[in-house]
Structure 1
């Protein structure tokens, strides 16, 4: 982990060397990670559908609609570019999910499609390049149909189809009437039916791949599916630059996920942790309990550290009940970025270790940067519940200004994923009359891949070797910024009764433990804690009626 934390540049080595990355199956957060990763395997879905859970996602159209990607292809490409590309922008931590799992499944889906595209490219060479005039005619007709129809899911209409049939008939008539004979005549006559043979072979390949992708899609949503194997991330030789790039990119992603810098985006709350829905403050004067001697010197870090040690015991209680799971307790450095920020930043300066601030720098921020500009220190207590669907975070900050010590506890909640990510594959069916019972209608499953989809995949296949060109001609998907796999697609937790109850119930124990730890430190340093205890008891009564509200808007 220390090696990972020094991951600001590419000059270091990522131990433990070459391995086949496997998605974590026992992290306790596989539900959310698998749901997001399932998008990479989705076939037959338009990329614009990803705008439903977050309208900031944008589909950038290309030059040719015949080359436009479906949702799985667009999402896979967007994830790879956004999270593994050289010089990429910083990424918001995904609390409650494992971003590396999503990236690995995206690479696995890409590998499955690449195997299909190799076979389709071979078919295009044999039946396309050798019979190029016929292929161009067929592709032109399909492109004309898509242009008339517009979107993927619309039909061309009666007049549009009639026009296409007329154009096709004229083309066939011209081919039959060409003034050629001999071998050239045979070639001209074969130019139109040859692509149909290629199309049939391509359809079998596309159908097998679609079944494979849909099987992975269903397994991920059903709680099954093993870790995604990424053999291309294992260097085959010392000069395998692409594998080394993937390996380093995955290690950097893991290091950035463990960063201790988070960002406060105004009323949007802390990115990755959700909005602040409540806050409680304890602020009293520091007075010596013995009038004949002064208070023993102490710092804000001493109080924060005592809270940290005491909060580690939250899962223990006097009764044998289910109680709290083990919380994640972290000293965070919080940076303000404001509402509508388009990007976040990484730690910088000599007191950083990769993507994190050093412990010494965290202590300095806690003790010295409590007023005016600069980053702030918060002690975070986080519970990841409901298999990652609910993230509850209590943030505690300690400030000492003049003779006043202030302890503030704020509550943040990140809700479940949008329902879009839980949608499984649809089985296409049509109703037909039963052969033995003509009066009865039965459902017959349809192929996963229809004729126009086979043409689209075959047309895209040769260009998949040139992804930048394919992005230009077919279009791309832009992910919402600042991007984080978890908070980008989250919804409010208040629509789920039990999730809301969990968020409300977590407040009181955390508040009381924080106050008790602070009282102990103050008492040990000769501070009169009577005023603090009275205020703490009052807050303990107020927290009984904790309810969600828009705390960051200050009722303004």
Structure 2
């Protein structure tokens, strides 16, 4: 059994970037860690089955941006101590996504350290002036958010008016001596600190946007996480982080999955098609008994034939090499908020052992308990489409049933694939007032500098910052890939790939099963007729919600 204290590797390692053929979806999800959109935008990426939650901030100035909230939430959920089990992210490398979240968090932490120093030097040491300027910015921000143009102009006027008063205060100081000079500094130094902080924020914003753009362009910049490489045996935090990353990869390779009713198999998508072949086991020769065989014998023959799907009589490209794997499927409720993986002596490093798989396949076919499925899976479209065909064989009394079901997980939401765009706004032309033009805005505006500077000192104590600014709650049971996946049926070629895979898989399964039945003295006439009928039906296949029973 895999537990929190078990180490799966012999030494210190930092996992490399995503596997070939799965980079698009991986880098799209990783790019969210560097984004500077409003955190509520992630709600647009939720699908009908999985919903994120963004809590309302108690202090709006301390609210997080999308990248800040996303990276923090992913790190806590996937690397946190005592975390709940995760759902596998088929078609992606979740470890790469977590590494980029760690890298983005480290970049922001360095920025916050600088901003904290600026706040202490230019703010706390000159607290009266700092508080006055802060109140002015809050007032201006609240007024500027009004939809009325007059109110927006009033917000700008407020800042100008207070600036003029500050100049008059510097020229005609009501008192002298030390306190006079301190009062002058309290007016000027916070402004200089704001300019310094703005340069720090702009430098970091450019760095984050370059990484965001690089990931969506193909992942040119890698994630740097030196904190995951222990430099000495005494660095317990780095060693723990390294173990959690390795544990994450081990759980990703688990052969245990969960069926959540209409949601389908979590991580594989909803079930869109189902074909069942069920006939009685009748001896081929009257008066003789059939040779005794087990469900596992049929499954093993199907497994061997599915491994050959990439071969064909014509050189037409055809199927890429599929992943053929035995799965242990655990049923969970449709609205289950968590899952629990199998444990015990039959599980090693999140993998159910072979002898346990065979026992489940042969014996657990009716009533409570986990079930065995044989899956053939393709990761297509650079990780954006995951097709899975699941096969199960059951024998009840004298009836053998072979069921083939199709599952499809579509591309990640377009929110994650959008590249950084320049910030602009549309204004009226001064002369031709009936026409408009786009004006380029600064990458980091005044309000954003104030927000970051106000948040920076509180990043040293995240619980307080989360309570004041709000947090992002990830959909549970959580898995990076299925949480923000679209349906593939809106993409013509993806839908075609899903539909075309069903026919050859179904025929290979039936062919392998009929061969085993014939070798063991079973009359295959009825099985063959039923198989031919299903072969005709599958040619007119259309996707449907196969798990939504209208009863």
- Residue 400 of structure 1, CA deviation: 0.2
Matched, 1:381 2:376: yes
The equivalent of 2:432 in structure 1 is none
Deviations 1:253-295 (A, max 9, x none): 1111111111111111111111111111111111111224311
Structure 2 unpaired stretches of 5+: 430-434
- Residue 307 of structure 1, CA deviation: 0.7
CA–CA distance in structure 1, aligned partners of residues 143 and 427 of structure 2: 30
The equivalent of 2:117 in structure 1 is 122
The equivalent of 1:37 in structure 2 is 30
- Residue 240 of structure 1, CA deviation: 1.6
- Residue 7 of structure 1, CA deviation: 3.0
Structure 1 unpaired stretches of 5+: 1-5, 435-439
The equivalent of 1:437 in structure 2 is none
- Residue 491 of structure 1, CA deviation: 1.0
Q: 1:400 to 1:442 in 2, by over 3 A?
A: closer
Determine which of 13, 26, 42 is the counterpart of 1:50.
42
The 8 Å contact of residues 22 and 230 in structure 1, kept in 2 or not, is answered as no
Matched, 1:360 2:355: yes
The 8 Å contact of residues 141 and 447 in structure 2, kept in 1 or not, is answered as no
CA–CA distance in structure 1, aligned partners of residues 73 and 127 of structure 2: 32
Determine which of 331, 346, 352 is the counterpart of 2:341.
346
- Residue 137 of structure 1, CA deviation: 2.0
What pairs up with 1:164-175 in 2 under 5 angstroms? Answer: none
What pairs up with 1:302-313 in 2 under 5 angstroms? Answer: 302-313=297-308
SS at match of 1:130: helix
SS at match of 1:551: coil
- Residue 480 of structure 1, CA deviation: 1.2
The equivalent of 1:64 in structure 2 is 59
Deviations 1:122-149 (A, max 9, x none): 2122212221222222223333444556
The 8 Å contact of residues 4 and 82 in structure 2, kept in 1 or not, is answered as no
The 8 Å contact of residues 22 and 227 in structure 1, kept in 2 or not, is answered as no
The equivalent of 2:21 in structure 1 is 28
- Residue 308 of structure 1, CA deviation: 0.7
The equivalent of 2:503 in structure 1 is 508
The 8 Å contact of residues 267 and 552 in structure 1, kept in 2 or not, is answered as yes
CA–CA distance in structure 2, aligned partners of residues 524 and 20 of structure 1: 50
Count of aligned pairs between the two proteins: 542
CA–CA distance in structure 1, aligned partners of residues 288 and 426 of structure 2: 91
Matched, 1:19 2:25: no
CA–CA distance in structure 2, aligned partners of residues 550 and 160 of structure 1: 53
The 8 Å contact of residues 14 and 242 in structure 2, kept in 1 or not, is answered as no
Determine which of 518, 527, 535 is the counterpart of 1:540.
535
Determine which of 411, 418, 422 is the counterpart of 2:413.
418
SS at match of 1:280: strand
- Residue 219 of structure 1, CA deviation: 0.9
What pairs up with 1:190-209 in 2 under 5 angstroms? Answer: 190-209=185-204
The 8 Å contact of residues 228 and 239 in structure 2, kept in 1 or not, is answered as yes
- Residue 351 of structure 1, CA deviation: 1.6
Q: 1:486 to 1:205 in 2, by over 3 A?
A: same
- Residue 187 of structure 1, CA deviation: 0.4
CA–CA distance in structure 2, aligned partners of residues 47 and 145 of structure 1: 22
Matched, 1:244 2:239: yes
- Residue 321 of structure 1, CA deviation: 1.4
The equivalent of 2:209 in structure 1 is 214
The 8 Å contact of residues 333 and 376 in structure 1, kept in 2 or not, is answered as yes
Q: 1:442 to 1:555 in 2, by over 3 A?
A: closer
SS at match of 1:283: strand
CA–CA distance in structure 1, aligned partners of residues 419 and 428 of structure 2: 28
The 8 Å contact of residues 59 and 475 in structure 1, kept in 2 or not, is answered as yes
- RMSD (Å) for aligned C-alpha atoms: 2.6
CA–CA distance in structure 1, aligned partners of residues 351 and 213 of structure 2: 37
Q: 1:249 to 1:144 in 2, by over 3 A?
A: farther
- Residue 210 of structure 1, CA deviation: 0.7
The 8 Å contact of residues 175 and 189 in structure 1, kept in 2 or not, is answered as yes
* TM-score normalised according to structure 2 size: 0.92
Matched, 1:259 2:254: yes
Q: 1:155 to 1:494 in 2, by over 3 A?
A: farther
The equivalent of 1:552 in structure 2 is 547
Deviations 1:397-432 (A, max 9, x none): 100000000000011111111111111111124789
The equivalent of 1:457 in structure 2 is 452
* Worse-superposed segment, 478-487 or 168-177: 168-177
Matched, 1:396 2:391: yes
The 8 Å contact of residues 388 and 407 in structure 2, kept in 1 or not, is answered as yes
Determine which of 222, 229, 247 is the counterpart of 1:227.
222
CA–CA distance in structure 1, aligned partners of residues 352 and 41 of structure 2: 39
CA–CA distance in structure 2, aligned partners of residues 235 and 148 of structure 1: 50
CA–CA distance in structure 1, aligned partners of residues 505 and 519 of structure 2: 21
The 8 Å contact of residues 20 and 233 in structure 1, kept in 2 or not, is answered as yes
The equivalent of 1:488 in structure 2 is 483
The 8 Å contact of residues 423 and 440 in structure 2, kept in 1 or not, is answered as yes
Determine which of 362, 365, 370 is the counterpart of 1:370.
365
CA–CA distance in structure 2, aligned partners of residues 498 and 410 of structure 1: 20
* Worse-superposed segment, 133-142 or 359-368: 133-142
Determine which of 149, 152, 155 is the counterpart of 1:157.
152
